[in-house]
Amino acid sequence: MLYNLFKLMSKYQGRVDPLEMLRSAYTDGKRVKVRDKQLIFEKDIRMPLTQSTAWLSTLTKKQYTLGSLWLYLEFHLQHITDYLNKISEYGVDNVTISDR
């Protein structure tokens, strides 16, 4: 896992890309935790839910936040009401149906 982190960091010249971190966590089957409105990927890697990503909504043309994408990944297989409640709880935007 440490090798993957270094590979991610070298790819972005010392910066960690939020989408790459999210993709890597789900690809590796790791749980992403949330605390104090931050996503915790590793012991030393935390990113705010409001962190902008390069993913653009096809409907609004706005950038999705890391929190919006993470929440959709966490709740897309559950009841839609659970997902909508969590959107409200965490204060992130909904991933539109056309982007799912």
Domain count, the chain: 1
Strands 38-42 and 33-35: antiparallel
pLDDT of residue 12: 45
* 51-95 pLDDT tens trace: 999 888 988 889 999 999 999 999 988 888 999 999 999 999 999
pTM: 0.79
* End-to-end CA gap in the chain: 28
pLDDT score, position 99:
80
At 40 the three-state DSSP class reads strand
**Domain with 88 in it:** 2-99
Q: What is the pLDDT of residues 30-50, one digit of tens each?
A: 889 999 999 998 777 899 999
* C-alpha–C-alpha distance, residues 80 and 44, integer Å: 32
Binned at pLDDT 50, 70 and 90, residue 9 comes out as very low
Asked whether the predicted pLDDT for residue 6 surpasses 70, the reply is no
Closest CA to 93 of 40, 39, 56: 56
